[in-house]
Structures are given as C-alpha cells and as structure tokens.
C-alpha cells in the first residue's frame, strides 16, 4: 500500500527547542485551556495521534487508557521518559495513514499540531474515523491559512498564495496550512458533526509576547477562543467533532491490549503475541515490540 510521505521527527529535539526553550508558554497554556473545554472529562480509551514527546498527554488523564501514537520512535521514547511505563499508557510507533487498530476501538481521539504535516489530510482523517466508536469524539487542531497575517500580506501583495481559496498551502516542505471551510467539508463528508470550534493564538505576535505578561495574553485569548464559532482568522483552530452514523459498529478492544491491534498491511486481527513481536496469521508479517513500544512502521525482516 503506498502512503504519502511522512515528516520525519526521528532524532528531533522538537520538544526542547520548540516548547521548553522556544518561548511558547503562551501557546502551550492556551492549548491546555482549549483541550479542557473540548475534551470529555472521562472515558475508556483515547488515541493521541502524533503524540510527540507527550506534551499534551497529561491533559487526558480522565481516560482509563491512553494510546500514544507517533511515527517517530525517539519522540515516543521521550514521552516514555516523561510519563513512565504505567499500564495506562500504550506506546505505538505507526503511520497515521495506516493505523494498526481495529475499527471502533476508541471513544476519543486527538490530533494536535499534526495535520499540519499531512500531504493527504482527508486520508488521515478517514483513518481516524475508522477507529472511533459510535459517537466517538475527535479533537482536531489545524493550522489556519485564513489567518490575519496571511490575509494582510496577500492584500498588500507580499504573499503569492491566496488565504481565501480552499486548497491547502505547503509553505515549507511537508508543512501545510488549511482553510477552515475545507476542514469542515472533509469532516462532514466522513460523517463527523462539528460541535464546537475554538480559535487560538490571537496574540501570536513576537512583540506582544515580549512586552505583555503571558498570563494576561492567556486570559484574553481564553475569552476570544469562543469567537471561533463565528469566525476563524487565527493561526491555530481547534474543533470538537463527533462521529455519527456508526451505531452498527460492535464494541471493540474488550479482551485486553492484544485485541486493540490489527495488521496495518492486510487488516487482519487478532495478531498473535510472540512477546518480542506480534505476528499476523494471515499475511505472516511480524511487528516488533521493543522496550514497551509496539512498532508498526515496517514489518520485521
Ligand atoms: C509538531 S509535532 C506535535 C507533537 C505533539 N502533538 C505536540 O503538540 O506537542 C508533530 C508530530 O507528528 C508526528 N507525525 C508526523 N507525521 C506523522 C505520521 N504520518 N504518522 C504519525 N505521526 C506523525 C511527528 O513525528 C511529530 O511527533
């Protein structure tokens, strides 16, 4: 199966350079508020797509079990160091375009700062839909091409691409901004109903972040987030979407962790547990399990 290219974070110091030392406290705190507003307080099992180093994971602790999925093994190792190896966390190295989970497994999923890297966003969103249970909740963050800075730059002739058209813009290789209407159309086409939209990072301007205390910016951003229902012109947008019309999907994953997985190549489940790998009895592929990380990126040789 051919899938779109992956933006590779293997070996990246993203968590340290972008978040811990990158002056992003304002963005991090506004995201925490948005997640608190959108995410169900409790649940059985949540999938965090593109979990990275687990920056947001502690915000999902109301769920009994958290599955952290990322293509980068080193990001997952950083998440393990942050969160530990409790039974609550399941670490999965896999491609968001070919998820290794049975249909209808999760009662919630989040994808924060990840769609940004998707050359084929509808394909990735379709994968999320498949693994959600009936009435499952999906919290999606996307980078918004219709942001004020892009609008002004375009109107002043300083930017070639139009922020008003629906197609994604790839401003750096494998980094995409999306039009809010395109996101709504894709989600709607897959059977999602958008329940809430919040706009974030109203004050993501260097000089404001330098001269105004972060707490003040966070406070005003948290109020303005609610305007997202009416208009979305900030660089970051969060939506809460519910999947409808999947009532026929039987409950999944009731028989322990092994029953969560399917072979990402042929779709067969259950896989056979051989301790250091899971084996597909249909296509015979073997998927490694090493240091607490299930690896579904490439079959073992
Ligand atoms: C910008 S980081 C965001 C990490 C985390 N969600 C956060 O907000 O701190 C993007 C993450 O998406 C992961 N990623 C990118 N493409 C992916 C794919 N096709 N499948 C799975 N993970 C992917 C990267 O490895 C990286 O950890």
* Ligand 1 contacts CB of residue 264 (under 6 A): no
Q: What average pLDDT does the chain have?
A: 96
Cα(127) to ligand 1 centroid in Å equals: 15
pLDDT tens digits, 116-174 = 999 999 999 999 999 999 999 999 999 999 999 999 999 999 999 999 999 999 999 99
* Ligand 1 contacts CB of residue 141 (under 6 A): no
Q: Give the separation between CA 252 and CA 106, rounded to whole angstroms.
A: 8
Of 6, 19, 47, 50, the residue with max ligand 1 atoms within 8 A of its CB, to mutate for a pocket test, comes to 50
Q: Whose CA is nearest to atom 14 of ligand 1?
A: 50
pLDDT tens digits, 18-76 = 999 999 999 999 999 999 999 999 999 999 999 999 999 999 999 999 999 999 999 99
128 and 98 Cβ atoms separated by less than 8 Å: no
288: its two tokens: 């490694």
Of 14, 114, 121, the residue with max ligand 1 atoms within 8 A of its CB, to mutate for a pocket test, comes to 114
Number of separate helices (H) and strands (E) present in the chain: 8, 13
Q: Supply the pLDDT for residue 296.
A: 98
Listed by start position, the domains of the chain span 14-254, 261-301
> pLDDT higher for 255 or 182?
182
Of 9, 15, 30, the residue with max ligand 1 atoms within 8 A of its CB, to mutate for a pocket test, comes to 9
Q: Give the separation between CA 127 and CA 296, rounded to whole angstroms.
A: 15
Q: What is the DSSP-derived secondary structure letter of residue 178?
A: B
285 and 297 Cβ atoms separated by less than 8 Å: no
What band does 246 get if pLDDT is binned at 50, 70 and 90? confident
164 and 149 Cβ atoms separated by less than 8 Å: no
Q: Supply the pLDDT for residue 118.
A: 98
Tell me the longest C-alpha to C-alpha distance in the chain: 61
The residues facing 295 across adjacent strands are 93
* Ligand 1 contacts CB of residue 75 (under 6 A): yes
45: its two tokens: 């099992």
Domain 14-254 CATH superfamily: Vaccinia Virus protein VP39 (3.40.50.150)
pTM: 0.97
Q: Give the separation between CA 109 and CA 239, rounded to whole angstroms.
A: 12
């Amino acid at each position: 199966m051919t899938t779109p290219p992956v933006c590779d974070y293997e070996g990246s110091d993203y968590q340290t350079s972008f978040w811990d030392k990158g002056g992003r406290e304002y963005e991090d705190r506004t995201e925490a508020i948005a997640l608190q507003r959108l995410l169900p307080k409790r649940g059985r099992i949540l999938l965090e797509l593109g979990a990275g180093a687990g920056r947001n994971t502690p915000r999902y602790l109301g769920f009994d079990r958290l599955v952290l999925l990322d293509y980068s093994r080193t990001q997952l190792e950083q998440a393990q160091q942050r969160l530990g190896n409790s039974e609550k966390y399941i670490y999965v190295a896999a491609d968001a375009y070919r998820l290794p989970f049975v249909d209808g497994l999760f009662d919630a999923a989040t994808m924060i700062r990840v769609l940004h890297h998707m050359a084929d966003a509808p394909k990735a969103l379709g994968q999320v839909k498949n693994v959600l249970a009936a009435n499952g909740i999906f919290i999606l963050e996307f980078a918004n091409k219709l942001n004020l800075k892009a609008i002004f730059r375009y109107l002043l002739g300083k930017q070639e691409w139009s922020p008003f058209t629906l197609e994604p813009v790839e401003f750096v290789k494998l980094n995409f901004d999306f039009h809010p209407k395109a996101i709504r159309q894709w989600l709607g086409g897959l059977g999602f109903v958008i329940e809430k939209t919040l706009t974030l990072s109203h004050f993501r301007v260097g000089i404001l972040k330098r001269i105004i205390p972060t707490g003040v910016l966070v406070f005003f951003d948290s109020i303005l987030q609610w305007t997202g229902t009416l208009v979305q012109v900030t660089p970051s947008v969060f939506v809460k979407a519910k999947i409808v019309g999947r009532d026929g999907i039987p409950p999944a994953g009731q028989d322990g962790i092994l029953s969560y997985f399917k072979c990402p190549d042929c779709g067969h489940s259950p896989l056979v547990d051989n301790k250091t790998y899971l084996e597909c009895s249909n296509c015979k592929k073997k998927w490694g399990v090493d240091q607490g990380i299930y690896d579904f990126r490439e079959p073992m040789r």
